[in-house]
């Protein structure tokens, strides 16, 4: 039986051996937040971990690799008005991520690929990265899997060109990965604006999901199908595999 790629399923001695072998640590970071009337609040965490696990299972034959436990809380203040959401503030999120990275480093691992599964984390991760490079000896890379995979999405989705929120894309992915967490009887209600209204770059303003969508959805989840979800998951997995394999990713 093949050894699991999941950190949480391995023993401490097995993880020590992974570090000695120079394993890459894939670190999923996500969120726990409202996803409309039709999906469980764990969507981002479920999907990010699934993408990371599938990518690692493809790569395990060619490199030592392990998927760290998913950090299920992130920057989600914009979802708080709709209930069901946990959020960090900036100092706490930075401190937790740095503690995770230092724990990984202390066990002898050298490379970490942080894979983000929540749009609200993107700015924070970009801002933190120089500090993390300075404060650890790790080689660290960061990506957001649905942005990495976006070029392959328009051929699959009907009403959108990328992942939005609790939308055709995310709902399809959940139908494929964790169908029990989709309340299909609520799909007729799972419709919102086609996109978040862009803000002028010169003047920033915080807008919560309580302000611009009556359902907590951005997009139209009624278009979702499990078949689309399976195709989207393959696109996301393959994009992450390609990024990890790419020598350009690891150049200094």
CATH number assigned to the domain comprising residue 101: 3.40.50.10310
**Is the separation of the CB atoms in 34 and 192 below 8 Å?**
no
Which domain range does residue 25 map to? 7-244
CA distance 168 to 157: 7
- pLDDT tens digits for range 70-127: 999 999 999 999 999 999 999 999 999 999 999 999 999 999 999 999 999 999 999 9
Evaluate whether residue 249 is within a structural domain.
Answer: no
Evaluate whether residue 181 is within a structural domain.
Answer: yes
Number of domains comprising the chain: 1
Burial code of 21-38, b = ≥16 C-beta within 10 A, e = fewer? eebbbbbbbbbbbbbbbb
Evaluate whether residue 187 is within a structural domain.
Answer: yes
**Model pTM?**
0.96
Spacing of C-alpha 75 from chain mean position: 12
- pLDDT tens digits for range 178-206: 999 999 999 999 999 987 655 556 777 88
């Amino acid at each position: 039986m093949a050894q699991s790629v999941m950190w949480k399923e391995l023993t401490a001695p097995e993880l020590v051996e992974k570090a000695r072998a120079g394993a890459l640590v894939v670190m999923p970071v996500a969120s726990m937040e409202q996803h409309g009337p039709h999906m469980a609040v764990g969507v981002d965490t479920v999907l990010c971990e699934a993408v990371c696990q599938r990518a690692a299972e493809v790569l395990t034959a060619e490199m030592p690799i392990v998927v760290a436990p998913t950090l299920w809380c992130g920057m989600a203040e914009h979802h708080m008005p709709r209930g069901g959401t946990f959020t960090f503030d900036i100092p706490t999120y930075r401190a937790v991520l740095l503690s995770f990275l230092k724990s990984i480093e202390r066990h002898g691992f050298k490379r970490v690929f942080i894979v983000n599964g929540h749009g609200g984390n993107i700015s924070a991760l970009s801002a933190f990265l120089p500090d993390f490079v300075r404060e650890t000896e790790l080689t660290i890379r960061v990506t957001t899997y649905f942005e990495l995979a976006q070029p392959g999405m328009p051929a699959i989705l009907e009403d959108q060109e990328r992942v939005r929120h609790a939308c055709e894309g995310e709902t399809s992915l959940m139908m494929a990965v964790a169908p029990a967490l989709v309340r299909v009887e609520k799909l007729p209600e799972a419709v919102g604006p086609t996109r978040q209204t862009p803000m002028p770059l010169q003047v920033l303003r915080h807008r919560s999901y309580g302000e611009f969508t009556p359902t907590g959805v951005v997009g139209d989840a009624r278009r979702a199908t499990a078949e689309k979800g399976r195709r989207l998951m393959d696109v996301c997995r393959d994009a992450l595999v390609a990024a990890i394999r790419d020598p350009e990713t690891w150049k200094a």
